[in-house]
Amino acid sequence: MDLTVFLAVLAAAVMHASWNVLVKLKLDRFLSLCLIQTLMGLLGAAMLAVFPWPSAASVPYAVLSGLLHLGYFLFLARSYRTGDLSQVYPIARGAAPLLTLAATWAFMHEEVSLTGGAGVALLVLGIWVISLIGQRGLRLDGLTLFFAIGTSVFVATYTIVDGIGGRISGAPSGYTGLVFVFDALFLSVAVLAMRGPRILREVAPYWKTGITGALLSGGAYWIAIWAMTHAPIASVAALRETSILVVMLLSMGVLKETVTLPRLGGAVLIVIGAVLIRLA
């Protein structure tokens, strides 16, 4: 992985972690995601007005990505309804890089060296250590676990779809904008059908905070799609998840939370994994 791409993906991880830590919407998680995703749609429309449009061949990938993001959103929201964040998040995000690695190797024949594969494995192991060590057991019922694992499948699938779509688009920035528009369109239709027009009144007072979240979240995924046009999809997918390490560091510095020794060990594994991905 080129150093510029490597540093860009790390910057995207920081942006992704920042909106999770700093954007404190006084809404439930479902409404927060709705607001941020809708505003990302406006960002996507602005990107399409500025950047070259993607090729026609990539449009079906953008449509499919929008549908997959809708599935991801619904599965994640359902997981959080009955499961704790600290339990659902590592399952939803921690398994996705390994699924991405397996799929790109099996179906796309994308070569990953032994060093790169080891880096992905260590990074994912570090994620699980940081997220799960010290918890008092996984108090997850079978249905919650199903939706959490399903979320990771959606993450891996839309990552691969957007990696391919960005590559064949000829214009990764334009493709990203189109993905944001379809994401917002499909989600808006689904949310209005589920909650009705009243949802607009509920989220309207928080539009300023929503813009912050949309810029950070949109910028992070914009970088990721661009990076997947320059590096193996699986490596980018794994490196993005260093955001969990950033969340831990922000928790220490900003929220003054205590970090245990096992979690520091997990942080070391993530750093070693990231270094191996870079060297590969």
9-39 pLDDT, tens digit per residue, is 989 988 987 776 665 556 667 788 888 888 9
Q: What is the pLDDT of residue 203?
A: 83
pLDDT digits (tens, 9 = 90+) for 63-104: 999 999 999 988 887 887 776 655 666 677 777 777 888 888
Which stretch, 21-35, 153-167, 190-204, has highest mean pLDDT? Answer: 153-167
Of residues 3 and 186, more confidence is placed in 186
Rounded alpha-carbon distances, angstroms, from residue 265 to 149, 169, 262, 269: 25, 41, 5, 6
Report the range of poorest mean pLDDT among 35-39, 180-184, 205-209: 205-209
Mean pLDDT of the chain: 83
Q: Tokens 């589920």: give the residue.
A: 194
Mean pLDDT across 38-53: 95
Res. 107 pLDDT band, cuts 50 70 90: confident
Report the range of poorest mean pLDDT among 65-74, 99-108, 160-169, 189-198: 99-108
Q: What is the pLDDT of residue 240?
A: 86
Dig out the tokens for 105 from the structure.
């190797």
Q: What is the pLDDT of residue 24?
A: 56
DSSP 82-144: HS-HHHHHHHHHHSHHHHHHHHHHHHS-----HHHHHHHHHHHHHHHHHHHTTSS-----HHH
Q: What's the rounded Cα separation, in Å, for the pair 71 and 190?
A: 10
Q: What is the pLDDT of residue 132?
A: 63
pTM passes above 0.75: yes
Q: What's the rounded Cα separation, in Å, for the pair 173 and 169?
A: 9
pLDDT over threshold 80, residue 246: no
Q: What are the helix (H) ranges across 112-260?
A: 114-132, 142-169, 172-195, 198-203, 207-228, 233-240, 243-253
Integer-rounded Cα Rg, in Å, for the chain is 18
What is the Cβ-side half-sphere exposure of residue 213, based on CA atoms within 13 angstroms? 22
pLDDT over threshold 70, residue 6: yes
pLDDT over threshold 70, residue 258: no
Res. 162 pLDDT band, cuts 50 70 90: very high
Q: Please state at what angle helix 207-228 crosses helix 172-195, rounded to 10 degrees.
A: 140
Res. 47 pLDDT band, cuts 50 70 90: very high
pLDDT over threshold 90, residue 8: yes
Q: What is the pLDDT of residue 208?
A: 82
